[in-house]
Amino acid sequence: MSTDVFGALANPVRRRLLEGLRAGPRSTGDLAGMFELGRPAVSEHLAVLRSAGLVREEPRGRHRFYHLEAAPLAEVDDWLHPFERYWNQRLRALSELLDEETP
Amino acid sequence: MSTDVFGALANPVRRRLLEGLRAGPRSTGDLAGMFELGRPAVSEHLAVLRSAGLVREEPRGRHRFYHLEAAPLAEVDDWLHPFERYWNQRLRALSELLDEETP
DNA sequence: TCGATGCGTCGGGAAAGATTGACGCGTCGG
DNA sequence: CCGACGCGTCAATCTTTCCCGACGCATCGA
């Protein structure tokens, strides 16, 4: 059903597809032009993104336009947030200070 | 050398390992206790995290303690940021307003 | 109506990932 | 000094992912 969002983002092709969709909906062939891949491969990647809820397809004529559906990315953001203080220097200093205060 | 960070996060076991390391450094056996997996499997997952720079190992006696090294997660955060306005309603409205203001 | 176009899907093969049992190495306690 | 402990690594196996060529379906232009 809805595949793992993290798994969907694991592939660089799929990440670039999402980046390409930020500017607006695009057709499959248009998206496939971004890569040196065969069209079936891109189509499969789009299917993975779709099963992760990251993309919505709108058939228009004989083209099929894909729309960015960024809502599931919030899950990644939520997972990432608790780690933020560990890579941000200033917040890290603050948190270490707090760790000293509360033993 | 440094494996893809997104690829490292694709596996739920590895994500839970990083979560478990937020509280502080832990030994391999301790971490393996979090799962119903064999110790070698967990050890390999830790190797993947290490090759992604997400973890640092500190040999202490016959134990080996793993420390969280969250810096590479900033790459994920950076990638995620341009999408934020697409899933956050309020920020989306704001950014669309800004887009109108600055042509 | 007919040929061309744009797509998704299926089958197969190659590559990568995940898990296990067995083994070897260094470390600690007695 | 020795047996037990905690680990990492290796070979082998199984699953998943990735990619392609071929095919079929629907749509558009003439």
Q: How far apart are CA A57 and CA A45, in angstroms?
A: 13
Q: Residues contacting strand D at CB < 7 A?
A: A 7, 10-11, 13, 37-38, 40-41, 44-45, 48, 61-62; B 27-30, 32, 39-40, 43-44, 46-47, 57, 62-64
Mean pLDDT throughout B11-33?
A: 97
* Tens-place pLDDT, residues B34-50: 999 999 999 999 999 99
pLDDT of B68: 97
Give the single-character DSSP code of B103. -
User: Given the DSSP bridges, would you call strands A55-60 and B26-27 parallel, antiparallel or unpaired?
Assistant: unpaired
Task: Give the pLDDT band (50/70/90) at residue A89.
Answer: low
How many Å apart are A48 CA and C9 C1'? Answer: 14
Residue B3 is classified by DSSP as -
Dist. CA B69–CA B83, nearest whole Å: 25
Query: Residues B42, B13: contact at Cβ < 8 Å?
Result: yes
- Show residues of chain A in contact with B72, CB under 8 Å: 87
Q: How far is the CA of A40 from the C1' of D21 (A)?
A: 10
Contact between residue B80 and residue B88 where contact means Cβ atoms under 8 Å apart:
no
CA–CA distance, B88 with B66 (Å, rounded to integer): 35
